[in-house]
Amino acid sequence: MVRFDVIEKIGPNVKCRCTDPGLLLPRVNLTFWWDGSLVRECNAMLPTISLKDWLDIDFGTAEDVDFIAISFVKSIEGIKHLKGYIAARSRDSDIIVIAKIESIDSLKNLEEIIQARQMKL
C-alpha cells in the first residue's frame, strides 16, 4: 500500500509527501485526510468497461453465462449501457448484471445504482 502525508491544502488540491512508496494501479482510488477531515478524493478517470471487458462480455453472452459483474460502477449510465449491449447481443438472454460498489464515486450515486442493478456486490 502506498502512503502519502498531506503537507498542505491548496484550494481543491493537496500537496503531499510519499512516505511509503509503491505501485499505483490504473484504477487507483485515492483519499486524503488532514487533521481528521477529508480534504481530497481522487478516482481514476478510466471508463467503467474497458476494451478487454467488452471482449469478455462478448464471450460471456455467446456462452450464455448466468451473470456479468461490472466493476468500479460510478453511476447508472455504465449499468444501462451494459444491459443494452447484452440485450442487443443476446435477445432471449436472462443474464443478470451485478454492480460492484468499489469507489467513493459509487457511494455518491448509490441509490440510483441500486435501482438499476439486478444484484450488487
Q: What is the pLDDT of residues 4-38, one digit of tens each?
A: 888 888 877 778 888 888 887 766 667 777 777 77
Q: What is the pLDDT of residues 64-92, one digit of tens each?
A: 899 999 887 888 888 888 888 898 887 77
The structural domains of the chain, with segments of one domain joined by +, span 3-43, 51-120
Q: What is the dihedral of CA 80, 86, 91, 97, to 10 degrees?
A: -70
**pTM: predicted TM-score of the whole model, two decimal places:** 0.59
**Strands (DSSP E) along 35-116, which ranges?**
37-43, 67-70, 96-99
Q: What pLDDT is recorded for position 56?
A: 94
Residue 47 has pLDDT above 80, yes or no: no
